[in-house]
Copies of this chain bind each other. A is one copy, B any other.
Amino acid sequence: MSRWNNALQTSAEIQKLKRDAVLREAGRAFSERGYHSTSLDDVAKALGVSKGTLYNYVKDKQEILWEFHRLAGEIAEDSFSSARAQGGSGAEMLRNTLKHFIYGLTQELGACRVLMEFNALRPEDRLKASKLRDAFEQAYVELIELGIADGSLRAVDPKLAIFTFMGAINWVPRWYSPSGRLTPEYIAETMTDLLLRGLVRKPAAPGRRAAARKQAVKDRR
């Protein structure tokens, strides 16, 4: 955003930027010390503000936790809609969805280990999170079924494939470090490729397509 735009920021925009900073710092503190052993006091200290100031942005720890889950849901939603807009075979849409999701997660929530905390959510948020998760699982299953139907993916139990993929991806915040040697781009590209190779019928490289088509015919026998 340019300086000129900055000058035009409304107080609502400034409030949002400050809230985002609070969320980021809370994510960092929770990830380092664990959600259950980090208090809002610790977060306030890390930000160098009073707990009272913090309450202008968030009500409690559980609200912060839900925000992370909500954001992960938004990234997933974006991944599906952009992949659908690009189109292609089931395999291509699955590849684009996964790549977009891994990249977004790494960028936005990369080191946010508390995404694993599910039971600590408020009951109503847990319900929302679990509905989100079920909806995305279903959307993934449909992509895989589409890929199996159009011949771009092998016939593998779609649920097991998705659980496998989601596990690999949800684990990223456990080991990713923004200061580490692996960039979000590399992780998204390489991990998607690794996972997709397990499932595709045709290898991605154009030079291999003829051999793959022959193999697909053999596989169908």
Instruction: Give A residues with C-beta under 8 Å from B.
Output: 33-37, 116, 118-120, 156-157, 159-161, 163-172, 174-175, 182, 186-187, 190-191, 193-199, 207-208, 211, 214-215, 218
Cα–Cα, bound, A187→B156 (Å) = 11
* Contacting residues, chain B, for A35 (C-beta < 8 A): 119
Instruction: Count this chain's copies in the assembly.
Output: 2
Contacts of A164 on B, CB cut-off 8 Å?
A: 168, 171, 191, 194-195
Query: In the complex the two chains form, is A37's CB within 8 Å of B198's CB?
Result: no
Q: Are B36 and A190 in contact, CB atoms less than 8 angstroms apart?
A: no
* Residue from the list B157, B182, B196, B197 in contact with A182, Cβ < 8 A: B157
Asked, given contacts A170-B167, A171-B170, A174-B167, whether A160 binds B191 with beta carbons under 8 Å apart, the answer is: yes
